[in-house]
Amino acid sequence: MPADAPRLNRSIAQTRPGIGIVHLGLGAFYRAHGALYVEEAMAASGGHWGIVGVSLRSPATRDALAPQGYAYTAVERRPDGSHPRVVEVLDHVLVAPEDPAGLIACLAHPGVRIVTLTVTEKGYCHEPATGRLDLAHPDIIHDLADPLPRSAPGVLVRALAARRAAGHRPFTVLTCDNLPHNGPLVRGVVLDLAQRIDPGLADWIAREGRFPATMVDRIVPATTRDDIDALARQTGVLDLSPVVHEPFRQWVVEDDFVDGERPDLAAAGATLVADVTPFEDMKLRCLNGTHSALAYLGYLAGHETIADTVADPSFAAYVKGLWANEIVPVLTPPPDTDLAAYCGQLFDRYANPAIRHRTWQIAMDGSQKLPQRILATLDDSLAAGRVAPGLMLAVAGWMRYVGGVDENGRPIDVRDPLADRLRALCDGAADPADRVRALLGVREVFAEPLAAALEPGIITAYLRLVELGARRAVEELS
């Protein structure tokens, strides 16, 4: 990097739009996806949709962006090169734990009409297998007692309460996380929490609030120091918080906003529909399902990134087999969609060598991801009398991974809200089959009767995995 590179800063000429959106969970994904759509929608059709970003935990993003006037670079990585673009749609960033009361005040401002969220699967404090609010979650216990919330559902409920008390309309809650029926899911946890705090508030939210479902898609690996240095070399300007992303993007949004108030997302290429479900199912099962399968098995086989994994012919054949033989046959396509073409395009996206998406990153939080990504397809396969050995092997891969030791006896840094319990179940198992039975007993992940139905197939897959190792177990399937 040029040692004297000047720091990126906001362009002075640019007038700031008024604030219309608060985004909870300001990670790389939203800055490389939703924020770009909003910026383009305003460029095309106007409106006051400036964004306040909120970090629910760490000040790191705010600290990096503040000296840059909250401008940052979104770098499109194509196989043939990097294409940077400066984004100025963020007005400022709040760090929730530093000033929870200030956050609620910001959310209560009548100019804020939409709250978008990327708080990851676990941020909704729900039970993955049922979708219901987890009342035993420490943050929910806290938020029931204390008006200054810690959890995303708590922030939404307390902010909606403040708006109701002030006589304002509610904001639309627009979730952008990879969860099935994500709109109804966030509505459910918000109403459940509100009901316990103030039933009148819950009635008002149920009547007046809107929680559109969405399908979001763009591959955005965590930014690394190498990314920062490469960008500074390319542009001669230092940005300490850029985001890197693939060319592809898709956003399908249920068109159901409070008073119809929203940016002109269609002008930026988003698809507004009445029912997101088939798009969500397609994306969660075809993309995220195979991402997780490749993450566990690829990691165990020693592959660092998804691109490295699918460059291995055994894994390329494996993922193509998952799509053709196991996932697509039990999926209802969205209107006018050719699923085989969609999956072909996915393969090319995975193979993009300029995107270094680590298997370890995708392997995170598997207990929160498996139900919608893989188990839903397995459930439909069983109902249709079909076999799905590749997906069974993927679940077995997760079971091996959460044991915390790789195929060469090296420790794995397992990140998962259930990590300790999963590890204890693995360590306490008498033999490999016993480990599978113990993990299938984790009801937050494996609902009955699916767990019982999966047991024989997953034990078989797990035993092959232990005997052969991930790479040969994958090969054996094709």
| Site residues for ligand CS2 per CB under 6 A | 178, 217-219, 287-288, 291, 361-362
- Whole-number minimum distance, CB 15 to ligand CS2, in Å? 32
Beta carbon nearer to ligand CS2, 171 or 350 = 350
Bond preceding residue 110 cis, omega within 30 of 0: no
Beta carbon nearer to ligand CS2, 294 or 438 = 294
Q: What DSSP element (H or E) covers 173?
A: strand 172-175
Tokens 């800063």, residue located: 9
3-state secondary structure of 292: helix
- Whole-number minimum distance, CB 120 to ligand CS2, in Å? 9
Beta carbon nearer to ligand CS2, 95 or 284 = 284
Beta carbon nearer to ligand CS2, 143 or 365 = 365
Assigned token pair, 224? 């690394």
Q: What are phi and psi of 86, to 5 degrees?
A: -90, 135
> Judging by DSSP bridges, how do beta strands 72-78 and 81-87 pair with one another?
antiparallel
Beta carbon nearer to ligand CS2, 42 or 362 = 362
Beta carbon nearer to ligand CS2, 137 or 218 = 218
DSSP category for residue 238:
B
Nearest CA-CA partner of 99 in 175, 28, 155, 31: 155
Cα(216)–Cα(92) distance, rounded to whole angstroms? 23
- Whole-number minimum distance, CB 361 to ligand CS2, in Å? 6
3-state secondary structure of 413: coil
- Whole-number minimum distance, CB 57 to ligand CS2, in Å? 18
Q: What are phi and psi of 78, to 5 degrees?
A: -105, 160
- Whole-number minimum distance, CB 242 to ligand CS2, in Å? 18
Whether 96 contacts 55, CB under 8 Å:
yes
Beta carbon nearer to ligand CS2, 100 or 289 = 289
Beta carbon nearer to ligand CS2, 262 or 357 = 357
- Whole-number minimum distance, CB 369 to ligand CS2, in Å? 6
Beta carbon nearer to ligand CS2, 19 or 414 = 414
- Whole-number minimum distance, CB 7 to ligand CS2, in Å? 29
- Whole-number minimum distance, CB 104 to ligand CS2, in Å? 29
- Whole-number minimum distance, CB 32 to ligand CS2, in Å? 10
- Whole-number minimum distance, CB 202 to ligand CS2, in Å? 31
List Cβ neighbours of 149 (8 Å cut-off, separation of 6 or more): 100, 104, 139, 142, 143, 155, 157, 158
Q: In 43-89, where do the E strands start and end? A: 50-55, 72-78, 81-87
* Closest residue to ligand CS2 in the complex (CB): 291
Cα(30)–Cα(45) distance, rounded to whole angstroms? 21
DSSP category for residue 82:
E
Beta carbon nearer to ligand CS2, 373 or 471 = 373
Q: Is 17 left (phi over 0), alpha (psi -120 to 50) or beta?
A: beta
Please, what is the Cα angle at 24 between 18 and 28, to 5 degrees?
95
Burial class from Cβ neighbours inside 10 Å (0-12, 13-18, 19+) for residue 147 reads middle
Tokens 């609010």, residue located: 133
Q: What is the dihedral of CA 269, 272, 273, 274, to 10 degrees?
A: 170
- Whole-number minimum distance, CB 340 to ligand CS2, in Å? 20
Beta carbon nearer to ligand CS2, 354 or 453 = 354
